[in-house]
A and B are shown apart, each in its own frame.
Chain A
Amino acid sequence: MLKAPYVTNYLTEHFGEDDYGTLEGYKRRGGYEAARKALSQMSPEEVIDQVKDSGLQGRGGAGFSTGMKWSFMPKDSDKPKYLACNADESEPGSFKDRIILERGPHLMLEGILIAAWATGAEKTFIYCRGEYAFPGACVQRAIDEAYAAGVFGKNALGTGFQHDVVLMLGAGAYICGEETGLLESLEGKKGQPRKKPPFPAQYGAFGMPTTVNNVESFSHVPFIINNGAEWFKGFGTDKSPGTTIFGVSGHVVRPGLYELPLGTRLDEIIFEHAGGVPGGKKLKGAIPGGMSMPILPAGQLEVPMANEFLREHKTMLGTGGIMVMDETTCMVRAGVVISYFFRDESCGQCTQCREGTGWMHKVIERIERGAGTDRDIGILEDVAAKMEGQTICAFADAAAWPIQGLLRHFRNDFEEHVSRKKCPFSESFEL
């Protein structure tokens, strides 16, 4: 089991206590009181309004208002409605949902039950990446316990509301984290994203109205119901309330998880919390929110970690997975690793994405080997630009952004490879 985050706040407060993952331990700390309150004292509209008022934004990467998303679910539908909990967590650099699955599964389940009440959903499919066998087993155990105690089923918490929960394990495909890729995979198909519209709230899992939320998004909800929207807004920034679990990796003294308010400065997270760069080396750049998000150079780390500020630096919060690179790092090699990943994981439906990811990887790899020409850097920029905003899903943008970020801030690394016809960084990690 993962150890508790180095810094905790309301969300992960009890993650260091092993029995918190059990129903009894969770209940002893007030667990399922929020769901009881929502289901017995609040109307679905009241729940949605409270979550809307709290300003909670999805923690799966896109940052969309959770309450708003819930309100898109049709109210007078005669079709069954579903929820999907996105536990696919495959964005490189992200490992925050995993700790919720392992150490706080009931927190997520309680959030799911509240969301189900708010949206009128009869069933939730939790889609967990296949490699998360252990986290998945922790969730399954929690589901079984919850059923045995009447938390779910025909008479959830004794309120007469019916809700069922099903856990499904994926099988190793990054694209199944994209919400409509996830829905296809749930249906037993290849996880190829769907064209939108129709959006999942109209046509989701098995053709039924469906709301997809991330593991962490659900997990904030019980606190909002217990303590109110105003309390929640006491954390974070005006536009981005609440905390999130930042995952810090790469060249830092203390890689790991840190639950901090949104808006915490990136340099504070890296240097004060994660202990800075080891070995007295200087920091070269940091990716702020999982591999899809453009990198920031050492000079721009004072930015508060919230989308309204990160956007000014042409990047985003994404999953809050922070990857730190020290001065020895070759950014062209980083580009090779990044572009390889996207080439490998493209689902292949859209030409711009299928061809573009392969092309980018080929060109960056050529530059890294010292066989690149002056034209190659321009080709990269051109291909990346043509991949943006053209495709069925945002994967192609997510593949183009990090390469654009590398060229924006570390163009010199690329140019030096071309002019010296080899990699100038002798101490960098090797491919």
Chain B
Amino acid sequence: MVISEEIRAKIDAEIAKYPVKRGALLPALHLVQSEHGYISNELAKELGELFEIRPIEVMEVVSFYNMFYDSPQGRHHVYVCTNLPCSLRGGRDLLRQLESHLGLKPGQTSADGRITLNHEECLGACGYAPMMRVGAQYYENLDLEQAKKILSELE
């Protein structure tokens, strides 16, 4: 078993909330990914057994949703919003500056595995642009210096 007892217990608690087991698949993927960073084939197999579906069906769901990953990622996901409202207030400039600051193109991960940089679509922070999301955390009304400082403090 790759999924820990603790996560397994949380998945069971989620399953209890839905009339059909599979309803808890997205919550389960979030839980498993929080522990493992991405959904490996091995994890897909185990989740498949748990949810009584084929591993390929698990991976189908993984590949449909932007927030699930099927390959190893940096420890921190840094997403800069480049949708229209953010673009109008410097979102794209911020992304370009962070690209050169980090030496990364969107989608790339730093050599030390610390940061994966990417652009993202609207995150519901359009009135507080430019903004970036680092993992679950939003940072809004940003300028380059603030953004650099936030990134430098990531472990």
Contacts and interface: CB of A to CB of B under 8 A. Distances in A.
B24 A188 contact: yes
Interface string B112-155: 00000000011111111100010011100000000000000000
B65 A172 contact: yes
Nearest to A90: B122
B25 A171 contact: no
Nearest to A136: B136
A249 B22 contact: no
Contact of B64 (A186, A190, A287, A431): A190
Nearest to A326: B88
Given A166-B17, A173-B65, A131 B133 contact: yes
Interface stretch (A154-162, A338-346, A383-391): A338-346
Contacts of B133: 131
Contacts of B129: 249, 255
B93 interface: yes
B82 interface: yes
Given A166-B17, A206-B23, A321 B126 contact: yes
A169 B121 contact: no
A169 B126 contact: no
A98 B126 CA distance: 11
A344 B138 contact: no
Interface in B79-121: 82-85, 87-90, 92-93, 121
Interface residues of B, number: 43
Contacts of A251: 88-89
Interface in A380-418: none
B9 interface: no
B30 interface: yes
B127 A92 contact: no
A334 B66 contact: no
B60 interface: yes
Nearest to B90: A429
A403 B14 CA distance: 42
A58 B7 CA distance: 38
B17, B20, B26, B85 pick with most chain A CB within 10 angstroms: B85
Nearest to B60: A190
B18 to A, nearest CB: 7
Contacts of A94: 122, 124, 126
A327 B128 CA distance: 21
A171 B23 contact: no
A430 B92 contact: yes
A306 interface: no
A113 to B, nearest CB: 18
A317 interface: no
B78 interface: no
Contacts of B23: 186-188, 206
A80 interface: yes
B1 interface: no
A172 B67 contact: yes
Interface string A178-206: 00000001111111000000000000001
Contacts, number: 149
A431 B96 CA distance: 10
A2, A97, A174 pick with most chain B CB within 10 angstroms: A2
A323 B126 contact: yes
Contacts of A323: 84-85, 88, 126
B82, B121, B133, B136 pick with most chain A CB within 10 angstroms: B121
A338 B88 CA distance: 13
A191 B88 contact: no
Contacts of A129: 124
Contacts of A186: 23
Contacts of A345: 121
A185 B84 contact: no
A249 B126 contact: yes
Interface string A126-152: 000111111000000000000000000
Contacts of B87: 337, 429
B65 A341 contact: no
Contacts of A189: 22, 25, 61
Interface in A66-119: 80, 89-95, 97-98
A191 B64 contact: yes
A247 B65 contact: no
Interface string A300-315: 0000000000000000
Nearest to A257: B127
Interface of A: 2, 80, 89-95, 97-98, 129-134, 166, 168-174, 185-191, 206, 208, 247-251, 255-257, 287, 291, 321, 323-325, 329, 334, 337-338, 341, 344-345, 429-431
Given A92-B126, A250-B88, 18 more contacts: A80-B19, A92-B122, A93-B84, A94-B124, A98-B124, A130-B30, A131-B67, A134-B137, A166-B18, A172-B67, A186-B23, A187-B20, A189-B22, A249-B85, A287-B84, A341-B83, A341-B121, A431-B92
17 contacts: A92-B126, A93-B85, A94-B126, A97-B124, A131-B123, A131-B124, A188-B20, A188-B23, A188-B25, A191-B64, A208-B19, A291-B84, A323-B126, A337-B84, A341-B83, A429-B88, A431-B92
